[in-house]
Structure 1
Amino acid sequence: MPKQYLARLNLSLAMILVGSSVVAGRIMVEELPVYLASALRFALALAILLPMLNAREGGLPSLCRRTWLKLAVQSLCGSFLFTVFLLHGLTLTGPASAGIITSTTPACMGLIAWLFLRDRPSRRVLLGICLSVAGVLVINLVGTAGPGGANPVVGNLLVLAAVLFESLFLLIRKTVPEPLSPLAAATVISLFGLAWFLPMGVVEAARTDLAAISATGWLVIGYYGAFVTVLAYLFWFAGVTKVPPSTAGVFTAVMPVSALVLSALVLHEPVGWQQLTGCGCVLAGIVLISR
């Protein structure tokens, strides 16, 4: 498989897993506080990543101070702030409402890449972005009520902030000049993620009855750590360095499509012609940019 197509496959798989975090996060916040759940997630991820990195690459990479700082900021944006704002937002608004906001991720990434990375998208890429944004907007035009039938403005604003931080997280990797394998990048980001969440996680652990957490709650944490963190990071870092930022931005449109499908399967939300039309637009956008 050509490298460009393999990179696009990796980006798609990463966004499928990230999209599943909307559903998994909704289940998780019903049983565990945000910081404790996230600290456990990164602890599990590191239990998987560190032995793999040590066996394959001999340990953590040797990087300059500026690169460590960039990776720390990247983890702050994507591992910490994205998670905090998304999970808190999901306590106030439903997955469908969150999907409306996450549908702006391709446009947000394209704008940031254009303004700060000097990545001017071609007409074909721009059309792909427009199709993707249109598709995910159509997907979420119905069923936007939040918990209890409400649609709080605060919850939507929190998810919007999460989109901004996720866009920064996905693009900062492009600014790191030193060679860094996907495995090393995922491990370093997870180390910083645990550091960001650990202080408040310890505080919440002292206030939480861990025995009251159901088997489902622990399984969701395991899924978040092994799949949304380890696999999604590996897939994204393997693909993002091989394509322009504007191209990577298009593939973030897969995220709300994944959230839609899993919401229907797991949370039993209805799927109608609006959602199917939206999925078609997103797939058309991805095909267009992948040609």
Structure 2
Amino acid sequence: MARVSQARLAVFALLIVSAIWGAHAVVGANVERVIAPLPLTVGRFTVTALCFFPALFHARKRFRQMSMRTWLTLTAAGLSVAVFYPLFYYQSLLTLSPVESLLIINAAPILAAFLAFVFYRERLSRRQLLGMGIALFGVILIATKASGRGHTSLSALLDAGIGMASFAFYTVISRKLFQALPRFDVLGVTSVIGALALWLIAFAQGQADHTLETYAHLTLAAWLGFLFIALFVSVIAYTLFGYALPRVPTGLSASLTFYPQAVFAALLQWVIIGTLPTLRTFLGGGVLLVGTFLLQKSNVQTSGKDLGEQTARENRSSQL
């Protein structure tokens, strides 16, 4: 009975995570009316790093024993997820609608599967290749609709594509990190690395004073939007995700966190901004989701087979 209750709580937690991450696109587009992408990203990950700092202090002995290769991997993960991904994602939100940008960003699992093949030689099944092709067609439908609005939209599509590629890269290289290190160690280190890198960028561009001045003159509404991004998107959502992930099957967790995001974003975009996604955006999003579903379903089946083989090996070892 206790396990059933924990599983139900985990499912509820994942739905909350999906709602938060879906709302991120709409709230981010709204906040960017008063906060530019760089100050927004600097502030977000500064707050995130401070929230995760207690976990870093608790893990300081483990950090002394980590190899240089692990530190380099953590640095690459921090730069991809806390610098390149949010900066280009927020830049795309200045032109694209929240749903358009979110759907392109959420195509990251498709590129991640390809990168896993390149870096780790993970085999791609026919179903995975089919899913990648279908999802790519969905992205093209969304992109052609957005590109019809002119040169600015083409630049925004490039920004969204770079953001998507950055998140896909993080997904691939962070896999081994989460297998080797506690989740909050990884989240804490990558957040601190990202915050330090972002402040260096701000100083190099002469934007450090402007960043501080931006937050000194925010209205209450802007502060609420920023705190939602910094606390809910970066801290609370990842904490809930870390709680739920070990308590539900991988396929269910992926479905509950990925697929409802576009629905939540579309609803909030309509309520807050007053804009409904176009028919082509709906069609492209549906095609993209179908392709991603095929890809993730194949990944789950492969992971389950590998896990079963690993469990069998461990059982045989324990009998010896």
Q: What TM-score does the superposition give when structure 2 sets the normalisation length? A: 0.69
Q: Distance in 2 between matches of 1:12 and 1:285?
A: 17
CA deviation after TM superposition for structure 1 residue 123, in Å: 5.0
After TM superposition, the structure 1 = structure 2 runs for residues 1-291 of structure 1, keeping only pairs within 5 Å, are 16-52=19-55, 54=57, 57-59=58-60, 61-62=62-63, 63-123=66-126, 140=142, 144=146, 152-176=153-177, 179-201=180-202, 203-207=206-210, 208-234=213-239, 239=245, 252=258, 255-270=261-276, 275=282, 278=285, 282=289, 285=293, 288=297
SS of residue matched to 1:61: helix
Q: Distance in 2 between matches of 1:106 and 1:6?
A: 26
Change (3 A) 1:80 1:10: farther
Percent identity over paired residues: 20
Q: Distance in 1 between matches of 2:148 and 2:16?
A: 28
CA deviation after TM superposition for structure 1 residue 196, in Å: 1.2
Residues 73-130 of structure 1: CA distance to partner in whole angstroms, max 9, x if unpaired?
1111111001111112222333243245325323211211222222224455566666
Residues 35-67 of structure 1: CA distance to partner in whole angstroms, max 9, x if unpaired?
22222212222332223554xx45473222111
CA contact (8 A) 1:103 1:256 kept: no
CA contact (8 A) 1:92 1:151 kept: yes
- How large is the RMSD of aligned CA atoms in angstroms? 4.4
Q: Distance in 2 between matches of 1:243 and 1:156?
A: 34
Q: Distance in 2 between matches of 1:51 and 1:146?
A: 48
Q: Which amino acid aligns with 1:157?
A: L
Q: Distance in 2 between matches of 1:244 and 1:161?
A: 27
CA deviation after TM superposition for structure 1 residue 162, in Å: 0.7
Q: Which ranges of structure 1 fall in alignment gaps of 5 or more residues? A: none
Q: Distance in 2 between matches of 1:236 and 1:133?
A: 27
Change (3 A) 1:159 1:77: same
Answer with 42-51 or 251-260: which moved more: 251-260
CA contact (8 A) 1:103 1:133 kept: no
Q: Which amino acid aligns with 1:158?
A: D
Q: Distance in 2 between matches of 1:182 and 1:215?
A: 33
CA contact (8 A) 1:105 1:249 kept: no
Change (3 A) 1:273 1:84: closer
Q: Which amino acid aligns with 2:276?
A: P
CA contact (8 A) 1:45 1:230 kept: yes
Look at both structures and tell me which one has the larger radius of gyration over its CA atoms: 2
Work out the number of aligned pairs and report it.
285
